[in-house]
Amino acid sequence: MWILAHRGASRAAPENTLKAFQLAFDQQADGIEFDTYELDSDIIVFHDKTLRRTTNGTGRLLDKSLSHLRTLNAGDNQQIPLLAEVLALTPTDALCNIEIKQLQAPESWLHKLEAALPAGAQATSNILISSFHHHWLAQIARLKPQLRLGVLTASTPQKSIKKALQMGAYSIHFALETVDEQYVLQAKEAGLKVLVYTVDTPADMLWLQHMGVDGIFTNVPDVALHALDRQATPPSL
């Protein structure tokens, strides 16, 4: 079962920062998950619509210029990172789940994604694109069918399984509060990978592993590494 660090190792380091992502890899996470917003000139890595909770800034994120956002302290003197910086930090054999919180247009977002790939990297084989905005994923699927897509759902697993299949998604991402064995079995029998968020206790990790879940998103990858049976190497995407 994959261990994906939710916004990096965010229990121990400021979420969605290069420090949190590097710590996740130091703690032997199989990959990272992070949130993105598309600005006019770039894609930045951030979760909230507003700045106050995780930075020393105030106001709406999308009301600020990129240059201003880059001056803010996102915790421990970390900058709000660019997508390119996170991808450059990510080992080539690690999984990278990019969640889309906001985009201007699927075409421009895909162009910026391609520009953010490390120099010489043409493949996106270790990248998984996810969102709660399923219409964006469907448009991306039509434009770039080779990309792996993950359908996020918080409350309607059965409907989301149907949507995932309709768009040819790679995976479905259930909330811990809504997942059960029936939904996991239904999704896996349909050919979908099943990932669950956010899983921070050993008991829940072991329960999901027993259920056959393919991966978890956790704020504590070090806890997951010690809790889970990792005799077998987790598969690549």
Instruction: For residue range 86-135, list pLDDT tens digits in order.
Output: 999 999 999 999 999 999 999 999 999 999 998 766 578 899 999 999 99
Percent of the chain with pLDDT over 70: 96
Kindly list the catalytic residues. 6, 47
CATH hierarchy code of domain 2-227: 3.20.20.190
- Taking the C-alpha atoms of residue 219 and residue 204, their distance in angstroms, rounded to an integer, is 13
The mean per-residue pLDDT over the stretch 41-55 comes to: 98
**Alpha-carbon Rg of the chain, whole angstroms?**
17
Q: What is the pLDDT of residue 2?
A: 97
Inform me whether the pLDDT recorded for 234 exceeds 90: no
Inform me whether the pLDDT recorded for 233 exceeds 70: no
Residues of 194-212 as b/e, b for ≥16 C-beta within 10 angstroms? bbbbbbbeeebbebbbebe
Percent of the chain with pLDDT over 90: 91
- Taking the C-alpha atoms of residue 216 and residue 197, their distance in angstroms, rounded to an integer, is 6
List, in order, residues 6 or more apart from 189 with CB less than 8 Å away: none
Q: What is the pLDDT of residue 229?
A: 73
